[in-house]
Amino acid sequence: MFAVIKKVSCRFVGETGIADFHRCIGHGFDDVGEAAWVFSSEVHGRGYAFEAADAAHRWFARQKGDSQTVCLIDPANGPSLAQAARLGYSPFW
């Protein structure tokens, strides 16, 4: 996971990355990297989350090649679902 710090204020505003959280959900989830992001409400809607998550995905691709990743999002969390779609994810059950 990477910390996201605003340059101007040096304030921590969130984190993002791709990790192995050992969730034991099953094949197709546990055996690939899991993308995650969480950001302070002060930066919601300003593009910070996408810019940081996109950079984390590009970093992961340089490290691991063209590896599959997944993310786990509450279906009621519309902004994160939109972020995931923008990053190229699609729902699976």
Domains annotated on the chain, with CATH: 2-86 (3.40.630.30)
pLDDT at position 51:
96
pLDDT at position 89:
95
16-75 residue pLDDT tens: 999 998 888 888 788 899 999 999 999 999 999 999 999 999 999 999 888 899 999 999
Residue identified by tokens 């969730």 is 23
Residue 3 identity: A
Dihedral angle over CA of 91, 44, 53, 4, nearest 10: -150
The model carries a pTM of 0.88
- Residue 18 near residue 69, CB atoms below 8 Å: yes
